[in-house]
Chains A and B, each alone.
Chain A
Amino acid sequence: MDRRRLGCFPLAFSFLVIVVLLAPILISVAMSFTSADTLTFPPVGFSLQWYQAVIHGPKWQDRLPVSLTVAVASSLLATSIATLAAFALVRGKIRGGNLISTLFIAPMIVPAVVLATGMYFVWTKGWSLGPITVGGRLVGTIPGLILADTVIGIPLPFILVRASLGSVDLSLEQAARNLGASPFTTFTTITLPLIMPGVLSGLIFAFMSSWDEVVIASFLSSPRVSTVPVAIFQQLRETLDPSAAAISSMLLLVSVTLVGLLSLARRKPAQLKEE
């Protein structure tokens, strides 16, 4: 008997919360199949015309490749950087390690608009110190968006890889070293496979943070080079027609797929360790 008796109020309340959280999402999906010209619930008839309108719209055909390129490149970069850093900080006894860890988590804490403003200045004018200026002209470019999303992608892989490193049996690494493997070989053949679930879920989180990012992207994109979320954000500010519901539902499908992948990535070896 390890649970307190639960009155029916908390449980009923919690189910109400679930309804309030989930119902709007389901309702907006239902509305995307309407054959009417306005957003209504229940939807009138059934049609896929709004999906067709979205898919054939030129805006989306331009932006989808940008969004995908940026999300793939930035999540790979962020996860590699974060994995190496987490490894260095957990295994090497570095002075000031706590402060450095905080810095790797900080992009998650600083308000997106604040970071976007700073990046907008630097991406426009370049890194300048006194008379020397390097770079610049990155606003409205794919590399500019990739660099920005790499920064905001770092914290989650860092946290997740750091946690998986903490649960790796150190004697396995020591055994490899005693048998003559170099630290590099030990890392690639012993440590990396063991922390792979953490790395993969970090990668998916980093992908999601870039794919869903709208604030920084709206500062750093131009009418020519822009991402899917920025376009949706603009549309939601102007008109609400069923095409917005159709886009939402398609994004929802992407989100559900990613969450599914995430639970796959986290399940396999995690069960060996935790339970």
Chain B
Amino acid sequence: MQSVETHAGFSRTIGRALRSSPLLPLLPGILAIVFLFLWPLGQMIYFSFTDPTVGLENYRRFFQTPAEIRSLGTTMWVSFLATLLCAVIGYIYAYSMANSSKAVSRLLMGAVVLPMGVNLLVRTFSLQAILRDTGLINELLKSIGLIQSPLPLIRNTFAVSVGIISMELPFMVLPIYNTMVQINRKLLLAGEGLGATPARVFLDIYLPLSLPGVFAGSLIVFVSSLAYYVVPQLLGSGSEMFLSQDVSNWIQLQAEFGYGATVGVILLILTLGTLLIASLFMNIDKTLSETTGAK
């Protein structure tokens, strides 16, 4: 009897706590985010200003080292290039998806979503196997006599871009597709009815209406590209490093923790800065949720 009462009392207490404070179920999440996420980031920022000496020394060193500036430049340039190419390829792909029969559309959707579930290392390895000097493409070209020595398809910016584009394409296609299927067809018909050529209808109506999807996709692809580590490590040259590789180099190989933390902070600022600027024009949370929700 007593145990029943205690049980009822217990569940009533929980009930009251839930009613009075919706914060209770939020508590584990807040604790996890504060101690396991924000704290490490704070620690890294703190180290960048204090290790080995207090002050801005680490940052001065970063901006006075040509190799570091080059690494910053490589990261931004390759990410920009990959985003641009992704946007062009993704636009055509999404356009085919939005404007073909249901069966073809499903097939295209499946083909672009499926690789998202495949382990990044597996996909990077498969690109390595194809692009390397004795890989499929070079062997094929050699056997038909088009080339004597292998083309430089790997260990360069080209290979890194190919890698990033093939990993990021779904994140470009999905938001573009989502905006394309929401375009009101009556507007297009009206344009045609008023005598516009198909090219004019596309340029003046369809393209502007689908641009929000392009912007959303580009933001996601650019920000993710900035953080790439495995792909440039396996497909890139050792001389043109991404900032992520740079950080790992200082922390894991050189054990210069304060300086490595500084490079990390700069990468973080680059990422958050891009998002901050973008958030003036779009809803970031919505953009991310819709893209991942479409998975």
Contacts and interface: CB of A to CB of B under 8 A. Distances in A.
Nearest to A90: B22
Interface in B33-48: 33, 35-44, 47
B126 A25 contact: yes
B37 A251 contact: no
Nearest to A9: B92
B271 A111 contact: yes
A208 B295 CA distance: 13
Interface of B: 11-12, 14-15, 18-19, 22-26, 28-30, 32-33, 35-44, 47, 89, 92-93, 95-100, 104, 108, 111-112, 114-115, 117-130, 132, 134, 136, 139, 166, 169, 185, 188, 198, 206, 223, 226-227, 229-230, 233-234, 243-244, 247-248, 251-252, 257, 260-261, 264-265, 267-268, 271-272, 275, 284-285, 288-289, 292-293, 295
Contact of B126 (A28, A82, A259): A28
B126 A24 contact: yes
Given A94-B22, A109-B288, A159-B289, 12 more contacts: A14-B97, A18-B108, A100-B30, A106-B37, A107-B37, A108-B288, A117-B247, A118-B39, A119-B40, A160-B292, A240-B125, A248-B126
A163 interface: yes
B99 A21 contact: no
Contacts of B185: 1-2
Interface string A1-42: 111111000110110011011111101100100000011110
A214 B14 contact: no
A168 to B, nearest CB: 16
B32 A151 contact: yes
A68 B23 CA distance: 32
Nearest to B230: A214
Contacts of B98: 3
Contact of B112 (A10, A21, A118): A21
A105 interface: yes
B35 A127 contact: yes
A210 to B, nearest CB: 12
Interface residues of A, number: 102
Given A81-B28, A118-B41, A122-B39, A237 B122 contact: no
A19 B160 CA distance: 19
A254 B119 CA distance: 9
A71 interface: no
A20 B137 CA distance: 12
A52 interface: no
A244 B118 contact: no
A25 B117 CA distance: 12
Contacts of A38: 134
A114 B264 contact: yes
Nearest to B226: A111
Given A81-B32, A111-B271, A17 B93 contact: yes
Interface in A239-275: 240, 244-245, 248, 251-252, 254-256, 258-259, 262
B117 A251 contact: no
A85 B29 contact: yes
Given A22-B111, A31-B129, A214-B230, A94 B15 contact: no
Contacts of B44: 114, 117-118, 121
A212 B123 CA distance: 12
A113 interface: yes
Contacts of B118: 25, 252, 255-256
A159 B230 contact: no
Contacts of A1: 185
Contacts of A3: 98-100
A147 B39 CA distance: 13
B39 A208 contact: no
A118 B26 contact: no
B260 A248 contact: no
A182 interface: yes
A60 interface: no
A170 interface: no
Nearest to B95: A10
Given A85-B29, A119-B40, A114 B285 contact: no
A41 B117 contact: no
B264 A117 contact: yes
A110 B206 CA distance: 34
Contacts of B128: 236, 240
Contacts of A24: 123, 126-127, 129-130
A94 B43 contact: no
B129 to A, nearest CB: 5
A109 B271 contact: yes
Given A184-B18, A212-B120, A25 B261 contact: no
A121 B47 contact: yes
A182 B117 contact: no
Contacts of A103: 33, 37-38
A127 B26 CA distance: 22
A21 B115 contact: yes
